[in-house]
């Protein structure tokens, strides 16, 4: 089995070799992978929220919000030598885990997915696979060598995209 770099909450990691990228505990959060089709360059981010305006001006990691995470992950993948025309995306998460008790958390999983897709679209980055929504958590593992995203859930089984 290939070793994995663990991507924590609001974190992003890159690999340019055979190292896999792993993100556990995706509920309403979105795990996004950007990878180069031709080279062993990939990055993963664990996005918590849709828009940095929710931070109310407080400092935050760029991986926390979709509107800061996607541009930063793209910048870092390109800095490693990826070619923009060869970059593709895969994503998972965006579930509705709990009934919202305050208005800003309502449909947060769906809002996260929509925000990530808007960002990807703005950079003309095609989504090659996704497993989003539902009401269950996910753990994902991206295998850089095969460009496969393995998705594990306790209730829905495993799948690969």
Report the catalytic residues: 29
Of 145, 105, 150, 115, whose CA–CA distance to 131 is shortest?
150
What is the Cα–Cα distance from 118 to 107, expressed in whole angstroms? Answer: 16
Provide Rg for the chain, Cα atoms.
15
Tally the C-alpha atoms within 13 A of residue 93's C-alpha that lie toward its C-beta: 34
What is the Cα–Cα distance from 92 to 31, expressed in whole angstroms? Answer: 5
- Helix then strand then coil, in percent of the chain rounded to 5, is 25, 35, 40
């Amino acid at each position: 089995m290939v070793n994995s770099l663990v991507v924590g909450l609001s974190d992003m990691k890159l690999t340019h070799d055979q190292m896999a990228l792993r993100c556990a505990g995706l509920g309403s959060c979105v795990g996004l992978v950007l990878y180069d089709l031709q080279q062993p360059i990939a990055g993963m981010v664990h996005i918590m929220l849709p828009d940095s305006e929710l931070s109310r001006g407080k400092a935050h990691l760029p991986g926390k919000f979709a509107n800061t995470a996607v541009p930063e992950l793209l910048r870092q993948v390109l800095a490693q030598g990826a070619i923009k025309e060869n970059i593709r995306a895969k994503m998972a998460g965006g579930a509705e885990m709990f009934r919202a008790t305050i208005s800003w958390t309502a449909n947060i999983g769906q809002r996260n997915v929509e925000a990530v897709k808007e960002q990807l679209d703005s950079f003309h980055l095609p989504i090659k696979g996704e497993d989003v929504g539902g009401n269950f958590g996910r753990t994902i593992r991206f295998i850089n060598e095969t460009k496969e995203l393995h998705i594990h859930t306790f209730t829905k089984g495993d799948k690969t995209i």
